[in-house]
Chain A
Amino acid sequence: MEKNYHVCTGCGLLCDDIEVESEKNIVNKVYTACRVGVAHMKEARRAEADFLVDNKPVDEDTATREAASILKNARNPLIFGLGTSTNETQKIAIELAKKINATLDDTSSFCLGPLVEALIQDKLKTCTLDDIRNKADVIIYWGTDPSDSHPRQLSKHTYFPRGSEKQRGWEEERTAIAIDVRKSHTAKICGNYFFQIPPKGDAEFIDALIAGLSGKLPKTSYNYPPKKLLELANILKGAKFGVIFVGRGLIYSLENLEPLFKLMKILNEKSNFHLIPMVGNCNTMGFNKNLFAETGYVNSIKFENGTVKHGPEYSVVESLKAKTVDAALVIGSDPLLILPGSIAKNMLEIPVISVDHCETLTSKHSKVYINTAISGVEAGGSAIRMDGVKVSFEPVIETNHPSEEVILKKIMEAL
């Protein structure tokens, strides 16, 4: 019997084999999903009020009208978030940004943005998670801990499952390697193949590894045992199908991506290596791809009368720091919580419209709050997985909350 599987939008993995038992539009039981997914599907709805203006309940029309008037009166509004929105919502948000000459950015500008941009521009070799399951023999986790951030990655895609060309699985045919500053949960699984480096030591470690791969003696200022580095270099050289999962730990530690490009180049001369960014939110990858298709940039842009400006000054952090934006539309994100306090506090000075399915710190300090359906649980659509594969999904349960897509369309109309 064909089972009815749902897609979990709890993280960038978009697991598509989730079974759900629901009754009267309440999710009772979730099978196969990890705790992150279960929490996302069962407990995501926390806000009670549907539409608030100045923290007073209003109806939908009043809220969208108020939102539209804030955006209309703003000289340079900021649209931020969209990491958990569907592709369809993101495309409307880009249209909206164009219409109101807005600054548009998402969390990737301070996360994995540069890396995703390089991948979209084909500067680095990548593959899909299904390729990894079927073929990969060496899997490196660098500056990331999927056991905590993407719990099912090791069991569903990379290390543990049997694949078409890897029938013996993790016991004999796969090697998982963790390179991190601390012994994370993933590092514990990697056992002897955990390479602990000091914070900010990544660039030097890459250089030493390149030396090791070229047959030279690897040296680091923090005296990493050359024997261990050579052992790692030998494993990488022998890989038939290798993959590096890059997390924020590595990206934050590097001044630019040059060392990573160099490493990938030499790895592909000696063996066969691919790279996948550990994207956190379920559709940050989608936002980057959609925006790239539309403008040629992945984030941090400003529309101005039909032209597109791009640069770090249009990122959410810099534009709030310089106070160049005078209103904000936040969709499915909580910048007051995730941005540094000194920058986030500038947000309190401008009118904020928060479109989110749960109550957040940002929504509590917003002028307008619109409670939407949860993408992937209460609203359908499509999203792009961390490896660039498009995944479509239907709503698991029904709701009377409007979807983000509907709200953005209404705001567009009201403009």
Chain B
Amino acid sequence: MTNAMELYQMLPKTNCKKCGKTSCMAFAVALMAHELTPEDCPPLKDEPKYKENYEKISEIFKPSEGATETGLIVHEDLCFGCGNCVVACPPNVANDPYGVGSGNAPRNVNKLVLTVENGIVKAQNLGECRRFGKNKILCNGCIVTCPVEAIEFV
């Protein structure tokens, strides 16, 4: 994994402020925190001389294949739909205590992060996941309860 200094080295370093940040260093920090994307730097994106660096940075921030916004990957070939993660997931329990929180079928699918569909767990409503947003924490409720390591965060 890279750090903000390495990202800064690849940026135009002109402090043009077109991204809305005060300096290129500030932009690099915002990139690291996933607040901004490489596309938010107009010179980097448009000027041919930065093309190589733009591709490099985009490669770093490209979401992994199959991963969701929170980096959650379900290995569908491993998952057998036991539903441990669905019942253990803290936002699931908070949003549907008498449904999935008590081991039953979901009563309010619209606010659940994990559900089981056709015998395989499916991630949705990632805004509810504790790994999402400004106050994110490294929750691992769904990983430690999986008997076959079918859930992974990248």
Quick check: B118 and A155 within 8 Å, CB to CB? Answer: no
Interface membership of B116, Cβ < 8 A: yes
B84 touches A38 (CB 8 A): no
Query: Which of B79, B103, B147 has a CB less than 8 Å from the CB of A189?
Result: B147
Q: Which of A3, A17, A160, A169 has the most chain B CB atoms closer than 10 A to its own CB?
A: A160
Q: Is B44 part of the contact surface with A, judged by Cβ < 8 Å?
A: no
- Judged by a CB distance under 8 angstroms, whether B125 is at the interface is no
4 smallest A-B Cβ distances: which pairs?
A: A161-B103, A35-B119, A17-B105, A38-B119
Size class of the A contact interface (CB-based, 8 Å): 35 or more
Tell me, in angstroms, the Cα distance from A166 to B154 when the chains sit together.
33
Whether A38 and B147, one on each chain, are in contact in the complex, defined by CB atoms closer than 8 angstroms, is no
Interface residues of A in 33-52 (CB under 8 A from B): 33-39, 42
Q: How large is the interface on B (under 10, 10 to 19, 20 to 34, 35 or more residues)?
A: 20 to 34
Q: Shortest Cβ distance from B101 into chain A, in angstroms?
A: 5
B105 A32 Cβ-Cβ under 8 A = yes
Residue of chain B at shortest CB distance from A15: B105
Q: Is A409 an interface residue (CB 8 A)?
A: no
Q: Across the interface, do A152 and B83 meet the contact criterion of CB distance under 8 Å? A: yes
- The closest CB in chain A to the CB of B106 belongs to A32
Residues of B within 8 A of A162 (CB): 93, 97, 101-103
Contacts of B91 in A (CB 8 A): none
Can you name the residue of chain B whose Cβ is closest to the Cβ of A157?
B103
Interface set, chain A 19-40, CB cutoff 8 A to B: 19, 29-39
Determine if A154 and B84 form an interchain contact, defined as CB atoms under 8 angstroms apart. yes
- Tell me which residues across on chain A come within 8 A of B87, comparing CB atoms: 155-156, 160-161
Partner of B148, one of A34, A156, A185: A185
Instruction: Name A126-148 residues within 8 Å CB distance of B.
Output: 133, 147-148
B105 (CB) vs chain A CBs: closest residue: A17
- Separation in Å of the A173 CB from the closest CB of chain B? 13
A151-B82, A160-B88, A185-B147 are known contacts. Are A33 and B101 too (CB-CB below 8 A)? no
> Is A186 among interface residues, defined by CB-CB distance under 8 A?
yes
* Across-interface contacts of B102 in A (CB, < 8 A): 133, 161-163
Is the Cβ of B105 less than 8 Å from the Cβ of A18?
A: yes
Check A147–B82 contact: CB distance below 8 A: yes
Within 8 Å CB of A42, what residues of B?
118
On whether the beta carbons of A32 and B103 are closer than 8 Å, the reply is no
Are A147 and B147 neighbours in the complex by a CB distance under 8 Å? yes
A34 touches B105 (CB 8 A): no
Which one, B81, B82, B101, contacts A154 given CB within 8 A?
Answer: B82
Is residue A188 within 8 Å, beta carbon to beta carbon, of the partner chain? Answer: yes
- With both beta carbons as reference points, the residue of chain A lying nearest to B88 in the complex is identified as A160
Min CB distance B126 to A, Å, is 20
Find B117's partner among A31, A36, A157 (CB 8 Å cutoff): A31
Does any Cβ of B come within 8 Å of A224's Cβ? no
CB within 8 Å of B: which A149-190 residues:
151-152, 154-157, 160-163, 169-170, 185-186, 188-189
Q: How far is the CB of B131 from chain A (nearest CB, A)?
A: 18
Q: Is A193 an interface residue (CB 8 A)?
A: no
| A17 touching B104, Cβ below 8 Å | yes
Contacts A34-B80, A37-B81, A38-B119 aside, 6 further interface pairs with beta carbons under 8 A come to A3-B105, A30-B117, A32-B105, A34-B116, A152-B83, A189-B84
